[in-house]
Amino acid sequence: MAQILVVDDEVGIRELLSEILSDEGHSVQLAENATAARSLRARGRPDLVLLDIWMPDADGITLLKEWATGGQLNMPVIMMSGHGTIDTAVEATRIGAMDFLEKPIALQKLLATVKRALRAGESRALPPLSIANFGRSAGLTELKKRLARISAAGTAVLMRGEKGVMPELYARYLQQPNTPWIDAAHALNDASQDLLQQAAGGVLFVEELAALSKNQQKHLAFFAARAEKISIRLVSFTAEEPRRLVESQGFDAVLMQALAGIVIALPALREHPEDIPEIASLMLAQLVETRFCPPRNFSTGALNVLRYFSWPGNLEDLAAAVRTLALTSLEEEIGAGDAERVVPQFARRAAEVGLSLDLPLREAREAFERNYFEHHLAQANGSVARVAERSGLERTHLYRKLKALGILTGRKED
């Protein structure tokens, strides 16, 4: 059955509710105050919370606000109080509580309310990872402001960046509330009038322009020609140079021009490493929430290892590393040793990241050097001293080289 968290400072009420709910076949966790409730909530998402309003350390309304602000209010919450008022009930509902029970609680009303809340909770999906919830670095903060500024305009947006930056996260930031989201991977196989109407007022997202077939380009052009009339926002991404797509790969030049109304550069993960601990922690919390893994958390040491790795595969590789750590770590706290065990798997040689021979010599050399040093830093667990020895470079010169290439490292000595 369901996992239910009961939060109440009165031991008699906790025990009574636990007995009733256990008899109904539910698994019950008990918390005597807000502090204990925070701890249990951090370990995993219950299917339902029964939350008392008046508690000695923090009231239930405050705790409800904390969960809502922190993205943890994704389960139904029933407030309980023996001294509740209509204003309190309204405030709790406004924050996100599903229902309100007045003490003493009648047995049949309790069971009916719990059943109704659990049924409603089944339809509550875990919110996807969103750049709205992370990114305190100056660069990402500025980018979000720019995206917010252009979100209301209907101009087509072309996003540029490296492979693995998860462009959908940024494209979703442009979507207006309660409007359609159309994934071009399916929509462009059949550009029909019905689909046009379904997409009206929403966003049509193309994850990688270079992957589109000639037929899909034709259908995308069909949408582009009608976008303004029915308010479809075209948002596309490519890791390739647009000019090269047109000249070398035969992409429709007129269509490319229509898609590039506004061009936005998406940052590589190594350009905002200060955000990595927060992003990794959010990714792990989502895995715990969906019960992909047992309760897990990162140690400070593990987060530092993740932060100072250069992530050639960007957010996609970071997400894969977090999933691996979530499943393979033996302890609840993922330590630095765990991270050092997993991170080298994501160091890629130049051939694996697809260095283009069409690049100008200077750009090709920089791309090779970046991948070369990223590979050796991963193999050396971030030790610049070891990389200097392996590469035959004097350490001061290596520091300057890494800085010029935009590669950050946290370990300067063995």
| Residues 188, 296 within the same domain | no
Q: What is the pLDDT of residue 351?
A: 41
Span 88-124, pLDDT tens digits: 877 888 888 888 998 989 999 999 999 999 888 765 5
Taking residue 301's Cβ as centre, other Cβ atoms within 10 Å add up to 16
Domain count, the chain: 3
| Residues 141, 262 within the same domain | yes
Span 154-207, pLDDT tens digits: 799 999 999 999 999 999 999 888 888 888 876 787 666 677 777 788 889 999
**The overall pTM is greater than 0.85:** no
Q: What percent of the chain has pLDDT over 90?
A: 44
Which residues make Cβ contacts (< 8 Å) with residue 245, sequence separation at least 6?
209, 210, 238, 251, 256
| Residues 166, 253 within the same domain | yes
* Residue 266 binned pLDDT confidence (cut-offs 50, 70, 90): very high
Is the preceding peptide bond at 104 cis, omega within 30 degrees of 0? yes
Helix (H, G, I), strand (E, B) or coil at 391: helix
In a domain, 369, yes or no: no
Span 371-404, pLDDT tens digits: 778 777 766 666 788 888 888 888 888 888 888 8
| Residues 334, 249 within the same domain | no
> Which residue's structure tokens are 């209010």?
73
Name which of 392, 341, 401, 335 is nearest 374 in CA terms.
401
| Residues 228, 288 within the same domain | no
Cα separation, 41 vs 26, in Å, equals: 17
| Residues 137, 258 within the same domain | yes
In a domain, 22, yes or no: yes
| Residues 213, 284 within the same domain | no
Q: Is-contact 381 340, C-beta < 8 A?
A: yes
Q: Is-contact 80 41, C-beta < 8 A?
A: no
Q: Single out the residue in 240, 267, 294 at which a domain terminates.
A: 267
| Residues 146, 259 within the same domain | yes
In a domain, 382, yes or no: no
Q: Is the pLDDT of residue 126 over 60?
A: no
The terminus-to-terminus CA distance of the chain in angstroms comes to: 52
Name which of 280, 347, 339, 283 is nearest 312 in CA terms.
347
In a domain, 354, yes or no: no
Instruction: Return the CATH number at 202.
Output: 3.40.50.300
Q: Minimum mean pLDDT among 22-26, 218-222, 347-351: which range?
A: 347-351
Span 223-263, pLDDT tens digits: 888 888 888 889 999 999 999 899 888 899 999 999 999 99
Cα separation, 166 vs 355, in Å, equals: 20
In a domain, 200, yes or no: yes
Helix (H, G, I), strand (E, B) or coil at 395: helix
Q: Single out the residue in 346, 365, 396 at which a domain terminates.
A: 346
Across the chain, what does the average pLDDT equal?
86
Which ranges in 83-207 belong to alpha helices (H)?
86-95, 107-121, 138-150, 167-172, 184-187, 193-199
The range of the structural domain enclosing residue 305 comes to: 270-346
* Residue 279 binned pLDDT confidence (cut-offs 50, 70, 90): very high
Q: Is-contact 310 374, C-beta < 8 A?
A: yes
| Residues 281, 215 within the same domain | no
Q: Single out the residue in 315, 346, 377 at which a domain terminates.
A: 346
| Residues 56, 99 within the same domain | yes
| Residues 217, 312 within the same domain | no
Instruction: Return the CATH number at 110.
Output: 3.40.50.2300
Cα separation, 291 vs 354, in Å, equals: 35
Mean pLDDT of 127-131: 76
In a domain, 327, yes or no: yes
| Residues 59, 161 within the same domain | no
In a domain, 357, yes or no: no
